[in-house]
Structure 1
Amino acid sequence: MTSRVFALIVGIDSYKSGNIWNLLSCVDDAKRIKHWLRHKLVVPEDHICMLLDEAATKYTIEESIKKHLVNNPEIQPGDAIVVYFAGHGSTAEAPVGWFSADHDTKTEGDSGTPRVNLLCTYDYDTASPAGRVAGISDRSINALLGDVAAAKGDNILLILDCSFAADDSSTRNRRFTRFTTSQRVQPHDLSSGLWHSAREKDFDPTSGFCHPSSTTHTLFCASQHNRNTRESKDGGRFTTAFIEAVGQLPLHRVSYDVVLEKTASLMPLDQRPFCAGRKKHEYFLDTVAFLSCHQFVQLDYLDGNLYRLGLGSLSSLDRGSKLTVHMHNLHGSANPPVGTVVVQDVHPLWCLARRDDKTAEIPRGCYAKIEGNKIHRRFCRSLLPMLGKLRYNAGRWGSTCFCCSTKT
């Protein structure tokens, strides 16, 4: 089975405008997110679109959402979709009529002027033939993800490692904050750059990117609305903590808000991330993101301390071999050992094993892990031809093991 995860990843350190200070680690953060998807969730390369620095213009980001997500025939309704952005955030004065009539009187900031939250694309606040580039507004991104949800379902995670609040501390600290002020963007630039489907929908200024009851997607934001998002040369605080958190959690059986809580526990107290969306209490990526790993073999309980495994001497198992026992057999979900079994009686295609004396009772439905690529490759070379070569790259008929790349 091929991964049912698709992603658009954006990371911007270097900006086109000379009025915007460059960042240190957004590109590296984007690459780390891609590495997590590729090597932990086993997402194929062609399921991921990554835009870095000058490739991440307003036009290319919007077109990539349209082409790679909305109009992608490979994505089926219910597939998991991850949209990640690391770069500067900003705010700008809202045009008259930007919000619905019920909300036009709401204001934000000392000036009493309604503000719009923005994702700063590579060409943010620069001149273009169509006018000054105003980035991608909160209203546009909600409409874009609404288009994705209408075509592919609402199993969408939006991750924003940026800030929508200025840092009032020292100049030195502002250099490490993923926020920039809007120097020349005017309200009419926001109107002209608004995504077309957003023009047909009312918008609530009290939510910005962070609508608590969004029905189209779930949001992970690196900081609360009025707090700063910080980085160092080693990475953004949020992305660094997120990568650590997803490596520690059994992701296939925890909810979005549990992932966010774990991430927050690994961050300094002066930056508080948050989770928003109607599905924030539901399973992370609806559990569709996790593929089975062929290094794990089901333990069939017989009686007492005795178990049967569907592997034997053809996979280089010998009497006395010790195998660790795990709760599940999925890629990308934390799976520490819960015990050990020792192989007793070995046959070519199966064996019997007993629970190690130091192991407490093993729960039913566990898996034994076949350690080492050498053993796994021997298993593939021995059995794949017999079984009709049932494991293939990218879900196509072939002769390469998806788990260890052994060719037979």
Structure 2
Amino acid sequence: MSSTLASPVSPTSPTRFDSSQIFALVIGINKYNCEEYPNLSAATKDANAFENFLLTRMAVPKANIVNLRDDQATRDGILAGFTALRDNVNIRKDEAAIVIYYAGHGARVDKPEEWEDWATSGGQIEMMCPCDIGTVASGKGSEEEMVNGIPDRTISVLLNHLSDVKGDNITLILDCCSSAGINRSSTTPTPIQEGLVPRRITNAPRMPAGCDRRIWSRGSGTRSIGVAQGFSGKFHASHVLLAACGRDQSAYEDPKTGSGLFTQALLKILGGHDIEDLTYTSLMHKLNMPTWQTPHCEGQSIQRRLFNKRAVGADGAFLLCKRSSKEKTITLQAGAAQGITLNSRFTAHASNLIPDQTHFNPELGNLVAVSVDAFTSELTVPEDVPMFKPPRLFYCKLTERGSGKLPIYCEDRTWLESVFTLDFQKSLSVTLVDSPFEAGLLLSIESSEVKFARNDVLVTPHIGAKFPHSVPKGQGHTIRNIAKSYLHFTNHLTRTGDDFRNVWMELKALKTEFSDDFDQILTPIGENMIEDEPATVVVDEMARLGMMINNQTDLPLYPYLFYFDPSDLMIIEWYTPPIGAGSGTKTSLIDAPLPPKSELTIGYGDGGVPPWQFLLREGDTKDVGFFKLFLTTSPTSFSSIAQESPFETGSISRYGKPAKPEGLETEKWGTKLSTIIQVSK
């Protein structure tokens, strides 16, 4: 369900790029045929520079690149470029990497009223602007025959087609405006005052309701297509998006340098680092962009290495850190919201990569938290370890909690002490107790098998104390990992922040319908299934479910939704917002998925992720799980929360009234919890 839970493949898989299996569509448009729209000066240069990167740094064969510049980049030409990738027999499914790059104007227009099934932000759609936008097609003068932009709906379906045929290793790079929003300030010169040119068209032609209907009608495959928002909204699973800016910003080019700001910054990182060592997340962390243009990255595969699904990717447990040369401080981009406490200890690493046979990520040193705020913590080198100087940008991994130890009990105390030595007790934040009533986790030995039970008031009333798993007595490492995972699970499940009383969740069944054009449409039906706490859900393994988050506060909010499975100790990410350049620097310029007085749909509508599905293990008639929603008033990262099951059992994943409005507070976070009791029919 979530890409952050697992790396793409095992550490023994090949990690090097196969350049012969990298294919690209590179589009750059300076000259627009309609006199009403301004030309650009740097888009084709940016496209040429990106093509050169592919040819030189990536060693991509020139025959693998479809190039469209200026007059070649007509509407029909761009659509044909997507089709050429889809129909290319040399592109091997799930082996090839496909990169689509576009530099040119972008635009937003009102959504056609007839597109009721197409959820959008603010009632508008986003579009690419081909070179012939606004000209008259077929020699006719009617609006229906005017050349239109290529709307987000069409791009999403084309990406869906491409992903179904060639696999999901697709990167879409857009150096164009996502909206007509311009940052204005009375004290700081605007980008336009500084001579920068926005890549946007403000008066694009109205979008006809029937535009590209022939393309949509082919989109009735395995994924719903009537549910997206923008270029980025629905198909998080089909591609990773790298966008030059957010919805309420503009993408700029600088006539003095002849480059777009985003492409210039992107190629600087790509040219100055080993591509093999970059993930999409670490790329965004390294991008240096002005505050009034914040690149966005989103997709279910953002933890992968760039253009490479064959190698292991990033470990979400690695937390971004920055060292300030001026203040000589080390700032961890995680705080109380992520469960960091005073005196928590970390290991420092140069990258966020999971090590494999060819890429190592050794410890650089040790750090300890000396102060903790909502979304950041200050770290320093502890007095009891060697001093070291970390890089300006690096990553930390939690190794020892500052507070909150897990009490463990086993009747065989001697064996327990052999598994949890004093060093392990310290590093794992566990303590051994003398009574089962004092313990959070209980271990028992039966026929050389270790069985596990819990004292947990949230879980045991519903499914009892015993876990449905056991481990051989001699597997000390696995047993310690289970204890570590249990502490991680309970810590994140039980901790709370501010009470966002004017925010609530609704879970509903989704009805599947098909339009006259065979578009598959998901529509919520019935009552809110989690109205009660706890809620009881009768499991229908064919049913798909969707969540709606309602925000009736006056605050723009960033929601992070997880499912906690206590039987397997899995924590599954269902929805997270985009990440921005320099992610975690407390910038508020990343698009807030939940503006004030708004709703966000997840699993349908504009949430951009697949629906949920509950499953029961064979033979089980009852289970319990928890949807937990973390809410923040500033963008941050909760990637360190998701966890796989520590049990080696092939466990299944569960695909599966407002109070007074509040005023704006900085650095605020809170949670919502819904308990789901699942019963068989």
Deviation, 1:194, is: 5.8
Contact preservation (8 Å) 1:137, 1:194: no
> Do structure 1's residue 121 and structure 2's residue 130 form an aligned pair?
yes
> Do structure 1's residue 64 and structure 2's residue 81 form an aligned pair?
yes
Contact preservation (8 Å) 2:244, 2:294: yes
Cα-to-partner distance string for 1:222-269 (whole Å, 9 max, x where unaligned):
001111111012200000000001122332133212112212xx2222
> Do structure 1's residue 11 and structure 2's residue 28 form an aligned pair?
yes
> What pairs up with 1:120-269 in 2 under 5 angstroms?
120-129=129-138, 131-168=145-182, 176-188=197-209, 190=211, 195-198=216-219, 201-204=224-227, 207-211=229-233, 214-233=236-255, 234=257, 235-263=259-287, 266-269=288-291
Deviation, 1:95, is: 1.3
- CA separation of 1:145 and 1:183: change in aligned 2, threshold 3 A: closer
Contact preservation (8 Å) 1:99, 1:204: no
Structure 2 letter corresponding to 1:121: P
Matched residue of 2:23: which SS? strand
Over the aligned positions, Cα root-mean-square deviation in angstroms equals: 2.6
Residue in 1 aligned with 2:298?
Answer: 276
Contact preservation (8 Å) 1:255, 1:282: yes
The normalised TM-score by structure 2 is 0.38
The normalised TM-score by structure 1 is 0.63
Structure 2 letter corresponding to 1:146: N
The separation in 2 between residues aligned to 1:189 and 1:239, in whole angstroms, is 34
Deviation, 1:198, is: 4.7
Matched residue of 1:74: which SS? coil
The separation in 2 between residues aligned to 1:242 and 1:181, in whole angstroms, is 26
Cα-to-partner distance string for 1:349-368 (whole Å, 9 max, x where unaligned):
xxxxxxxxxxxxxxxxxxxx
The separation in 2 between residues aligned to 1:79 and 1:100, in whole angstroms, is 33
Deviation, 1:123, is: 0.8
Cα-to-partner distance string for 1:288-314 (whole Å, 9 max, x where unaligned):
69xxxxxxxxxxxxxxxxxxxxxxxxx
| 2:89 alignment partner, one of 73, 77, 88 | 73
Deviation, 1:158, is: 0.1
Q: How many residues align?
A: 278
The separation in 2 between residues aligned to 1:212 and 1:62, in whole angstroms, is 20
Contact preservation (8 Å) 1:221, 1:273: yes
Contact preservation (8 Å) 2:153, 2:230: yes
Matched residue of 1:228: which SS? coil
Residue in 1 aligned with 2:642?
Answer: none
Higher helix share: 1
The worse-fitting range, judged by mean Cα deviation, of 20-29 and 252-261 is 252-261
Contact preservation (8 Å) 1:229, 1:237: yes
Contact preservation (8 Å) 1:82, 1:157: yes
Structure 1 letter corresponding to 2:295: P
Contact preservation (8 Å) 1:89, 1:162: yes
Contact preservation (8 Å) 2:23, 2:99: yes
Matched residue of 2:112: which SS? coil
Structure 1 letter corresponding to 2:270: V
The worse-fitting range, judged by mean Cα deviation, of 124-133 and 136-145 is 124-133
Matched residue of 1:286: which SS? coil
The separation in 2 between residues aligned to 1:240 and 1:175, in whole angstroms, is 14
Contact preservation (8 Å) 1:144, 1:197: no
Deviation, 1:173, is: 6.8
| 1:38 alignment partner, one of 28, 48, 55 | 55
Structure 2 letter corresponding to 1:249: H
Identity in percent: 28
Cα-to-partner distance string for 1:366-393 (whole Å, 9 max, x where unaligned):
xxxxxxxxxxxxxxxxxxxxxxxxxxxx
Matched residue of 2:218: which SS? helix
Contact preservation (8 Å) 1:117, 1:208: yes
Residue in 1 aligned with 2:646?
Answer: none
Deviation, 1:185, is: 2.5
Gaps of 5+ in 1: 109-113, 290-333, 335-408
The separation in 1 between residues aligned to 2:233 and 2:149, in whole angstroms, is 20
Matched residue of 2:173: which SS? strand
Contact preservation (8 Å) 2:279, 2:303: yes
The separation in 2 between residues aligned to 1:193 and 1:231, in whole angstroms, is 35
Cα-to-partner distance string for 1:38-79 (whole Å, 9 max, x where unaligned):
000000110001100010011011111112x10101100120
Contact preservation (8 Å) 1:8, 1:50: yes
The separation in 1 between residues aligned to 2:214 and 2:33, in whole angstroms, is 18
Higher strand share: 2
Matched residue of 1:268: which SS? coil
Contact preservation (8 Å) 1:256, 1:281: yes
Matched residue of 1:127: which SS? coil
- CA separation of 1:17 and 1:51: change in aligned 2, threshold 3 A: same
> Do structure 1's residue 83 and structure 2's residue 87 form an aligned pair?
no
